[in-house]
A = this chain, B = another copy of it.
């Protein structure tokens, strides 16, 4: 018999409790032991659950109970999750979590404590919900040097952008619909401003490249500035706009990392990731690109990943899994000025003149096509250093430029 505790009885925590109850026999068979919830920590009361007698409001009962070997943290947020997780690890308990904010901010420290105490700290559910990604990266791709990680890591924003494409909705209407459907929270800032995707790319980058990346180090832009016009113009180029999170290894050992709305061709496999789905493309020097796809959130997908981690802890109570990364540092995440193509919408009251100048500056290929809606011209630049492109673009006779990065 292996005793566990769950911290938090919200969406993910209650899902994990349900799975552990419902699939008790099946889980027991797989781990060759019985995994039993001893406590559920929550400040609220849940008198109607079949396991109401397991609830406690007192964290110290859990951390001080030597019988509890595994703790699942599903409270979310930094506080008090950080303090609770740290105490559990220090008390020699293995901890699993779905809390991306916690792992992105404190992962390195918590992994070090786990190592010191010879216990496990696992967090598969923190990125991509139920999509297996962290374990495959750490284990199956271990004979690779990972060079690049590109992901659609936030289902809410992907849903919104998708609705803007398929149903010509405005950003505001699509957001409202997402809220009605329960895909976006009442306060959607963490999603639509890119912070959620940022935390996830920090975790992926740390695992893939070996050093902690802090959310503050990652240039993060959300989708609030993407308009129906932008989406429509992109379609003229057979492109879609996706919120892309990316972390890339540079030759000098630093990395580039960002979250930003990105214009990509429809034949890129990531462009077909629709609705609330997530996808993560990991590029290894030996495998080339491999992609992981599925529902990136939701009660049972995420809870099933938490339970799988608990099962893994149960199987490794004495043998620690090798999972760790080094502390990050200032200057580790840099801005790259690599050759790229930019996607530009320029506004001018004299569209004809603007078109003429663009036509004169760039070779007459497919790389710019005008779109005369609202006095704007949209074009895709040639492939050049970003700094040079920006200088070039701003010489055009326009009163306003809107610039997207691309992924072709």
List residues of chain A with CB under 8 Å of any chain B CB: 19, 23, 26-27, 30-32, 124, 129-132, 135-137, 139-145, 267, 269, 272-273, 284, 286-295, 298, 300-301, 303-305, 307-308, 311-312, 315-316, 319, 322
Q: A143-B19, A293-B293, A308-B141 are in contact. Are A32 and B286 (CB under 8 A)?
A: no
Q: A30-B322, A132-B136, A136-B135 are in contact. Are A290 and B294 (CB under 8 A)?
A: yes
Instruction: Decide: B291 and A304 in contact? CB cutoff 8 A.
Output: no
Top 10 A-B residue pairs of the complex, sorted by shortest distance between their CB atoms:
A132-B140, A130-B287, A290-B294, A132-B136, A143-B307, A286-B304, A291-B293, A286-B300, A143-B304, A287-B301
> Which of A129, A132, A301, A303 has the most chain B CB atoms closer than 10 A to its own CB?
A132
Contact of A295 among B32, B131, B287 (CB under 8 A): B287
Complex formed: what's the CA distance from A351 to B269 in Å?
40
- Residues from chain B with Cβ under 8 Å of A316 in the complex: 319
Q: A291-B292, A294-B291 are in contact. Are A139 and B312 (CB under 8 A)?
A: yes
Q: A135-B135, A143-B307, A292-B292 are in contact. Are A301 and B286 (CB under 8 A)?
A: yes
What is the minimal beta-carbon distance from A328 to any residue of chain B, in angstroms?
A: 18
Which B residue sits closest to A144, measured CB to CB? B304
Which B residue sits closest to A140, measured CB to CB? B132
Q: A284-B304, A286-B304 are in contact. Are A322 and B141 (CB under 8 A)?
A: no
Which B residue sits closest to A27, measured CB to CB? B143
Which B residue sits closest to A307, measured CB to CB? B143
- Residues from chain B with Cβ under 8 Å of A145 in the complex: 23, 26
- Residues from chain B with Cβ under 8 Å of A131 in the complex: 287, 290
In the assembled complex, 9 residue pairs joining A and B whose CB atoms fall closer than 8 Å, in A order, are A27-B142, A132-B137, A132-B141, A135-B140, A139-B308, A143-B308, A269-B293, A288-B298, A289-B295
- Residues from chain B with Cβ under 8 Å of A308 in the complex: 139-143
Complex formed: what's the CA distance from A308 to B286 in Å?
12
> Which of A140, A288, A311 has the most chain B CB atoms closer than 10 A to its own CB?
A140
Complex formed: what's the CA distance from A84 to B130 in Å?
39
Complex formed: what's the CA distance from A293 to B283 in Å?
12
Complex formed: what's the CA distance from A232 to B288 in Å?
31
Which B residue sits closest to A16, measured CB to CB? B143
Instruction: Decide: B289 and A294 in contact? CB cutoff 8 A.
Output: yes
- Residues from chain B with Cβ under 8 Å of A129 in the complex: 287
- Residues from chain B with Cβ under 8 Å of A298 in the complex: 288
What is the minimal beta-carbon distance from A378 to any residue of chain B, in angstroms?
A: 26
What is the minimal beta-carbon distance from A191 to any residue of chain B, in angstroms?
A: 20
- Residues from chain B with Cβ under 8 Å of A322 in the complex: 30-32, 315
- Residues from chain B with Cβ under 8 Å of A124 in the complex: 140
- Residues from chain B with Cβ under 8 Å of A31 in the complex: 322
